[in-house]
Amino acid sequence: MGIFGGLFGKKEKPRADFSNVRSGGSSTAPTPGMGGPEMGAPSMTTGRTYVVVSGDSLSKIAKREYGDAQKWPKIYEANRNIIENPDLVYPGQELRIPEAQGEEK
Amino acid sequence: MTMHQYTRVVVSLLSAVALFSCSPSKPVVQAGVKVTDIDVGRGLTADKAIAEKTDSFRPADTFYVSIKTDGSGPGATLTARWTYQDGQVVDESRQDIAPSGSAAVTEFHLSKPDGWPAGGYKVEVLLNGTSAGTKDFKVT
């Protein structure tokens, strides 16, 4: 192949595909006003979301997010579109975490 | 040296002093809020600190970055910009916060259901659009 083989025979490494990346975030600080963030980026995540990791359950997430495992139905209700069985959540699932202040005490 | 020339020299010297006093090494403080610490790792504690600090992840891991801020203000925007070793922006997420106390913790996380490509990654944290620090990590 010679020079041309060296120039054209090399295969280019394919670029990594990050199109299915899921992002989220939360803060101990309040958000300005009552609404979510106003400035937008294409993949911006607003409000509180949580990405399920290995070993998670709804009650564990409720304990972490609200300090009370018994509040898991609140998370389940907010994510009925993606959770079929409340006993089964899968790593990588992105759950919406409703604000705790909406809770009746 | 005439009086006019003397004035010119003094003005030039003052300009130079003003320029050098604007050092970029000052901590990033925006609207009364400053970033005091940035950690990367796996999992979060209840107070949104990193449960397991690391700079080496597995393909199935979720990346977490935890940002401590100090001060208070009516509104500040934290941005996490994640990039891959080839320069691709993997994700950019923002959160608007209005910290009212002395310290607050904000976390961002990133997952990829089919696993992360091996290689080097970087997360840059910006406060109101100004870089407040970066963390490098890798996936093996």
pLDDT, tens only, B104-131:
999 999 999 899 999 999 999 999 999 9
Over range A5-25, report the average pLDDT.
75
Measured CA distances, B26 to B34, B35, B130 (Å): 11, 12, 12
Q: Any CB–CB contact under 8 A between B111 and chain A?
A: yes
User: How much is the pLDDT for B20?
Assistant: 42
The alpha-carbon gap from A14 to the nearest alpha carbon of chain B, in Å, equals 11
Q: Any CB–CB contact under 8 A between A19 and chain B?
A: no
The answer to whether B90 contacts A31, with C-beta atoms less than 8 Å apart, is: no
The alpha-carbon gap from A6 to the nearest alpha carbon of chain B, in Å, equals 23
Question: Quick one: pLDDT band at residue B21, thresholds 50, 70, 90?
Answer: very low
ipTM of predicted assembly, 2 dp: 0.75
Q: What topology does CATH give the domain A45-100?
A: Membrane-bound Lytic Murein Transglycosylase D; Chain A (3.10.350)
Q: Any CB–CB contact under 8 A between A43 and chain B?
A: yes
Nearest to B109 by CA among B70, B78, B82: B82
CATH C-level class of B29-139 = mainly beta
As beta bridge partners, residue B95 has B78
Q: Which of A23-27, B20-24, B89-93 is the least confident region?
A: B20-24
pLDDT in tens, B46-99: 889 999 999 999 999 999 999 999 998 888 999 999 999 999 999 999 898 988
Q: Per-domain residue ranges for chain B?
A: 29-139
Q: Per-domain residue ranges for chain A?
A: 45-100
